[in-house]
Amino acid sequence: MSDLFPEAWKSLPGPEDITRVELSNGITILTRSNFDSPSVVVTGYLDAGTTLDPDDKLGLAHFTAAALMRGTQKRPFQEIYNELESAGASLGFGASVHNTGFGGRCLVEDLPLLFSLFSEALRTPSFPEDQVERLRDQILTSLSIQAQDTWDMASLVFDQILFAGHPYARPDDGTPETIRAIQVDDLRSFQKRHFGPQGMVIVVVGGVSASEVIDRVQQAVGDWENPDQIMPPAYPPVQALGEPVRRHVPLAGKSQTDLLMGSLAPRRNSPEYLAASVGNHILGQFGMMGRIGEVVREQAGLAYHAGTSLNAMLAAGSWEISAGVNPVNLERAIDLIRKEVDRFVREPVTAQELQDTQDNYIGRLPLSLESNGGVANSLLNLERFQLGLDYYRRLPQMIREITTAHVLEAAKSYLHPENLLVVSSGPELA
Amino acid sequence: MPNPVTKVRFSNGLQIHLKEIHTAPLVSHWVWYRVGSRNEKPGKTGISHWVEHMQFKGTAQFPNGDLDKAISREGGSWNAMTYLDWTTYYEKLPTDRIDLALRLEADRMINSLYDPAEVESERTVIISEREGKENEPIFRLDEAIQIAAFDSHPYRYEVIGDMQDLWKIARADLYEHYRTYYTPNNTLIALAGDFNTEKILARLTELYGDIPAGPEINGQIEIEPPLRAERRVEVSGPGDTTYLRLAYRAPAARDPDFFAFTVLDSLLSGPSGLMMSGGGLSNKTSRLYRALVERELSVSISGGLQATIDPFLYVITAIVHPRSTSEAVLAAIDAEIQRLQNHLVDAAEIARAIKQARALFAYGSENISNQAFWLGFAEMFGDYAWFENYMQSLEQVTPQDVMRIAQTYLQSSRRVAGTYLPTGEAGEQE
């Protein structure tokens, strides 16, 4: 327990107030009551994501998830949404690389309705042809908007190069060609083969008791079985870039160029993750976006946004440094960032920087969980990355134990200034 | 039983709103200044937002760079927003650390430095912020619509300001704007969270009690008469997606019509959460979704009304379906508006909108930061009673009110119709 904010830390989820139950069909439930709230948040995931998309049908998991609410064997589209929206409730599905996720919220009194729609959409979607075609047009339009977005394009190409040969390299939403190739039967078959209770996690947080949550989940999906459920394959290892790569995606008619630089990062469960995360905070988040913000924004005045992020996933991660700059300042920004990365892997961070960031980590967590949604996401992460129900109680100590040497070691393992990936998108390079 | 609100006004005019909430160990603190783009003159647009940026550049007591570190070190988060009618600064801190936020806000109300070198460095940061917005088709369309929607009222300017003005505004302009509007009599301080009202009031008295009131600010701005003929604007740019946006002059938030308009918007384009309310709902059963998206005239539709001091704009935005046209979308929207003008809506439809609003209100209220936000925000265009009576005001809306609103405000002669026309240029130039 942190000696800094003992009262605050008592408010964090821990083993005493999280209920975790595994149903006999493989579903895991995590729930935490908040009787100050008249509403409930439901979130979770299935063990089926875009890694299961065939190469010629990229976007299939995403398309399937989006189509679940377009009609069920019991109700047509308008009836589903009439029930949902009349109650002021929401429910949606979406796919990410590892999972098909879901999220909903409602007033406590409408929880039975939410679970009943949830169960129908998940287990008995009907994929009506007209709705699927309408959805296809919507996905194609969003891809077309994305193709005009400098940030989206830089990000897409960054992943393609950084994770070449790995499922993480592929676009979650597919491409216009692959979206056009997907048939209604593909959606049906994806749902049938990959949706099932094995590996499914449901988190419920709000003004409802744990026993009621367990009963509701039991009623909704407790009898769900799918003996044919095909689980995702193991993920191949990722390879760090052996050479520097520079790529520009030209987009006409833009005022700003989005820049993305970086390398691989540790996976979420790696022993190096926390040290890398603390280091990343110093590099591009603390205060006004860390060292990168200080140099690129505060000193040089080159960008409104300039900072870093560490995206740690199950199999690997990416360490990203980004900035939005005027095209004429692009090379200068790249140069400034490169120098900072160089310094970051050569010299340890200062004791003061480490101390500041440790204090921030330890202080901010209780503040980030003031809503049901915030608590629900934190429970989801505990389960997704198998961190343990007491993770938040142990975290302050783990953060305090990180040294400047740990940070330097993590930086050196992943950030290689000589082999950085540099991707930009904006007007044609001069 | 809702937590009571303590309202105090100091002799220098400073307003204080306090609400104790002890469900989480944190305090949310907001300082609201009655200044925004509404207070700007041609040639100086964007100055309120720029002043907001300069307020992060240090005082003698909290030099630049120390401010953000000081807050971050305590685990806190902070930021600021500038809008049409107001500028607000906020901090969220652990209970026992809130004094830091109180001290720094009191200090920067009067002691910000506006170092000339910092002004220059921030000029390019803000220009970069604007260039980032210019990358978005919808920003470019919005800017063209807003300037067409008003002839003289400052609501015609984007908050970020005109690019030419951003190059011209000088340090003296910024400092004068700061000294004019950052006075106790133009300010409201709102706190919600885990504190003791008496102690906080005593501390605020120490910090602000001796700051002299500034000259009275004439906050009246001449209201423009409604448009008499429809105005059309077109913006073109790369890509292949067409956007249609309609902007109708709307009532001010204090106008009793605002509530009937809110219900109308909910029926027409779907329920919108009050600002900062923690997420909205889907709108798939709204009249426009059914008339446009289900008939494949548009791929999405949204509407929005904003709470402002003077009449601003009610905006409807459609992303045109690739196989449709903006004319067809416009005709379908007009048909739905005519239906509202000519036929009374069912009382049950209104009751449904009320239930949706109640749910959204409940979601928004579970978050302490949102509650603190509303303590101040409501006073920027009305008073806190506006917020307290919000649900009750909606409940009084009748079908006749909705019809009258449609007839009065949604005449095509009172609107600007804007289209973003894609030039069809390939986005990505290979």
- Nearest chain B residue (CA) to A370: B367
> A84 to chain B: which residues are within 8 Å by CB?
282
Query: What is the pLDDT, as a whole number, of residue A166?
Result: 93
Residue A61, C-beta contacts closer than 8 angstroms, at least 6 positions apart = A48, A49, A50, A52, A53, A95, A100, A172, A190, A194
Whether the predicted pLDDT of A31 surpasses 50: yes
pTM for the full model? 0.95
* Nearest CA-CA distance, residue A147 and chain B, Å: 6
Whether the predicted pLDDT of A1 surpasses 60: no
Residue B189, C-beta contacts closer than 8 angstroms, at least 6 positions apart = B14, B15, B16, B17, B29, B30, B31, B32, B105, B204, B208, B376
CB atoms within 10 A of CB B307: 22
CA distance linking residue A307 with residue A64, whole number of Å? 34
> A369 to chain B: which residues are within 8 Å by CB?
24
pLDDT digit string (tens) for A199-231?
999 999 999 999 999 999 999 999 999 999 999
Mean of the per-residue pLDDT values of chain A: 95
Fill in the amino acid letter for A156. L
> B294 to chain A: which residues are within 8 Å by CB?
134
Q: Residue A107 is nearest to which of B238, B285, B362, comparing CB atoms?
A: B362
φ, ψ (nearest 5 deg) of residue A178: -70, -30
Query: What is the pLDDT, as a whole number, of residue B425?
Result: 65
Tell me the two tokens of residue B313. 């704009």
Q: Which of residues 190-249 of B touch A (CB under 8 A)?
A: 237-241
Residues in a beta bridge with B29:
B91, B191
> A372 to chain B: which residues are within 8 Å by CB?
366
* Nearest CA-CA distance, residue B155 and chain A, Å: 24
Residue A163, C-beta contacts closer than 8 angstroms, at least 6 positions apart = A169, A238, A316, A318
Query: What is the pLDDT, as a whole number, of residue B276?
Result: 52
A419 neighbors A43 (Cβ within 8 angstroms):
no
Which of A107, A148, A297, A305 would best serve as a mutation to test chain B binding (most B beta carbons within 10 A)?
A148
Is the CB of B128 inside 8 Å of chain A's CB atoms?
yes
* Nearest CA-CA distance, residue B414 and chain A, Å: 30
pLDDT digit string (tens) for A359-372?
999 888 888 888 89
Helix (H) / strand (E) containing B71: helix B66-73
CA distance linking residue A377 with residue A32, whole number of Å? 12
Where do runs of H (alpha helix) occur along B135-256? 137-149, 163-168, 171-181, 197-208
Tell me the two tokens of residue B324. 């449709």
Which of B194, B267, B356, B428 would best serve as a mutation to test chain A binding (most A beta carbons within 10 A)?
B428
CB contact under 8 Å between B26 and A305, yes or no, is no
Q: Which of residues 147-206 of A touch B (CB under 8 A)?
A: 147-150, 153
How does residue A257 score in pLDDT terms, banded at 50, 70 and 90?
A: very high
Query: What is the pLDDT, as a whole number, of residue A246?
Result: 98
In the numeric block, the tokens 């005022």 are attached to A255
CA atoms within 13 A on the CB side of B424: 1
Q: Which of residues 314-333 of A touch B (CB under 8 A)?
A: 324-326
CA distance linking residue A390 with residue A381, whole number of Å? 12
Region for A269 from its dihedrals, namely left if φ exceeds 0, alpha if ψ lies in -120 to 50, beta otherwise: alpha
Which of A367, A368, A399, A424 would best serve as a mutation to test chain B binding (most B beta carbons within 10 A)?
A367
Weakly modelled stretches of chain B, pLDDT under 50: 427-430
Following CA atoms B331, B334, B338, B341 in sequence, which dihedral angle do they give, to the nearest 10 degrees?
180
* Nearest CA-CA distance, residue A146 and chain B, Å: 10
How does residue A4 score in pLDDT terms, banded at 50, 70 and 90?
A: very low
Extract the runs of DSSP E, i.e. beta strands, from A207-280: 245-250, 257-265
Q: What is the mean pLDDT of residues A53-59?
A: 97
Would you say how long chain A is, in residues? 430
Is the CB of A225 inside 8 Å of chain B's CB atoms?
no
Query: What is the pLDDT, as a whole number, of residue B430?
Result: 33
CB contact under 8 Å between B360 and A88, yes or no, is yes
Output DSSP code: residue A72: B
Q: How many CB pairs under 8 A join A and B?
A: 219
Query: What is the pLDDT, as a whole number, of residue A172?
Result: 94
Query: What is the pLDDT, as a whole number, of residue B275?
Result: 62
B246 neighbors B420 (Cβ within 8 angstroms):
no
CA distance linking residue A289 with residue B125, whole number of Å? 14
CA distances from A266 to A238, A310, A312, A357, A391 (A): 11, 9, 6, 19, 19
Is the CB of B369 inside 8 Å of chain A's CB atoms?
yes
Query: What is the pLDDT, as a whole number, of residue B68?
Result: 82
